[in-house]
Amino acid sequence: MAADESAPAAVVTAAEIARLAGVTRAAVSNWRRRHPDFPRPAAGTATSPLFALTEVQQWLDRQGKGRETSTEVDLGHELRAQYGDDLLTALGAVGAQLLGTAVEQPLAEPAAAALTALSAERDAHALYADLVERCIASTTRSGGEPMTTLALERIVAAFAGPANDAAGASDRTIGTVYDPACGIGTLLLTAVPGADRYGQELNPATAAIAEFRARLDGRTATVACGDSLRKDAFPDLRADLVVCDPPVGVADWGRDDLLLDPRWELGVPPRSESELAWVQHCYAHTAPGGRALLVLPSSVAYRKAGRRIRAELVRRGLLASVVVLPPGLMSSHSQPVHLWILRRPAQGDPAPTHIRMIDLSTADSDGIGLGMKDCAPTPEQIADVPPIDILDDDVDLSPSRYVTPHHGDYPVEYAALRDRIQSLAQDLLDLLPVLPAGPGRIEAAPMGLGDLVRGGLVDLDGTVPTSRTDQLDTDYLRGFLRSAANARRSTTASGTFRLNAGSAQLPQMEVGRQREYGEAFRRLAAFEELLREAAAIGGRASALAYDGLTKGALLPPAASTSSGMSESQEAQEK
């Protein structure tokens, strides 16, 4: 078969770009979002885009990208020295200094001086936005308190945007935005120009950060501190747009004290359904003609205990759309979540004829949200379902129940996935280093990671250390921190990993030997990254094979030899 001359001579995945530049996959995702001139995908699929290697290399050269260190590294080091793992208090202190506001724990002199130097070079809002992003990424890696990711904010903003029937949007001007569980303000500050914003947050430290972010961005935001369900700070507020990424699985959300609360228009939420309490709280604060967008676990769509409330949402025409979002958008887990879009009908609005079900579970979680076009569903990802078809014994609101996956050409797509797996298998073998037998132990004195951090030789961002001297190899540091002994020291009784810098140790070695170990650890890290990609592609290949075989679009090998093969199947065999 002749080669396609229009295809690029060589293409690379996002993971391969990260290895090429010596950065993380998250850094590549940030480049794609922040830099309009970053190369667009030249091939591949939405979930596994491929980029032209020459275009990527030219872009890296223009940008001077390599094993780059953020301009905030020095400030981050001083903040960690003063506040330890309490990044929220540190972030609040930074915001307070940028705005000239007093806080209980202000920055110490070294951190204050570093911030002053940085703020003289950069816009205060952009600087604070970068620090917030680092805080979210660090919390995600270390398994800390769940936070709304910037990727999730972008997709919520896209569905909250201008009129778009697929998004369940309306032409109504958005004058007020409300988030009853606003955290550090990520969804509250959704890009809606000119709106007044109201938020409530239980943690005073995060509430302060939300307000600082708004002020530095020149926006109007009122953020109250407290429990929105138990003590609503804005009982009379009716907002044009309500956004919420609520806490999930909370057993003690105040049900016994709120049995007669007027917010429960659809019924008192069961004790085990705290998420449906948030759904009704958000709806109660939605103005006529307005919308509420909530990020919810997929199980809320089908759990038996919530059936009656879901049925009322459907019967009254309050649920406009349910969207399955791709995995990887949450900070605390990698499972897909749902976006529920509710509407409060205005007087004279016609009764809705359908609920729009959208399945974006196979979209690229790195690229989605770069613009509305990146999360606009295709016709095959949409099902407009009449309410009567949902109101059965289950009242299941899972879009996967109604949206039928579609593949244009099963043989061609399956053959492409199979070829990619074959190529990945060889790449995996090449990356996995040949490791000769050792003596059984390393004869070297131990040194503590905490001492290296305090001595200014290592910058520690969450669980990821970076050397600040040419006498320590970064990959050597990271590799030895994954030893069984260090993992035991950093794993809690509940099984959560949180790096214990005070007790983590690594052996002392001269820098040449460190680099030998670092090279082995680099190859292992690349192997793991590629293995994850191979697992994802393998999952898609097997799902496509099952679907194609059961639909008759693909034939088993024995059947193909007895009943004749199509041209694409013959090409695949060759």
Alpha carbons 136 and 213: distance in angstroms, whole number: 14
Alpha carbons 85 and 456: distance in angstroms, whole number: 17
Q: How far is CA 330 from the centre of its chain?
A: 4
- 339, β-bridge pairs: 295, 323
pLDDT digits (tens, 9 = 90+) for 359-387: 988 776 655 544 444 567 888 889 999 99
- The HSE-up count of residue 39 (CA atoms within 13 Å, CB side) is 25
pLDDT digits (tens, 9 = 90+) for 292-326: 999 999 999 999 999 999 999 999 999 999 999 98
What is the pLDDT, as a whole number, of residue 569? Answer: 47
Comparing 173 with 292, the larger pLDDT belongs to 292
What is the pLDDT, as a whole number, of residue 574? Answer: 45
* Location of structure tokens 């004195």: 445
25-34 helix and 14-21 helix, angle to the nearest 10 degrees: 100
Alpha carbons 494 and 497: distance in angstroms, whole number: 9
- 383, β-bridge pairs: 357
Query: Percent of the chain scored above 70 by pLDDT?
Result: 83
Query: 58-72, 168-182, 469-483, 555-569: which range is least confident on average?
Result: 555-569
Work out the pLDDT band at 265, boundaries 50, 70, 90.
Answer: very high
Task: Give Cα separations from 317 to 217, 297, 391, 401 (angstroms).
Answer: 37, 22, 12, 19
pLDDT digits (tens, 9 = 90+) for 36-88: 889 988 877 666 678 888 888 888 888 766 544 444 566 877 887 788 778 88
Q: Assign residue 296 a region (left: φ > 0; alpha: ψ between -120 and 50; beta: otherwise).
A: beta
Comparing 463 with 309, the larger pLDDT belongs to 309
Alpha carbons 545 and 330: distance in angstroms, whole number: 29
Alpha carbons 217 and 184: distance in angstroms, whole number: 14
H or E segment to which residue 506 belongs:
strand 505-507
- 241, β-bridge pairs: 177, 291
pTM of the model: 0.68
Which value, to the nearest 10 degrees, does the dihedral of the CA atoms of residues 260, 264, 270, 271 take? -60
Alpha carbons 81 and 75: distance in angstroms, whole number: 10
Q: How far is CA 77 from the centre of its chain?
A: 25
Average pLDDT of the residues in 459-473:
79
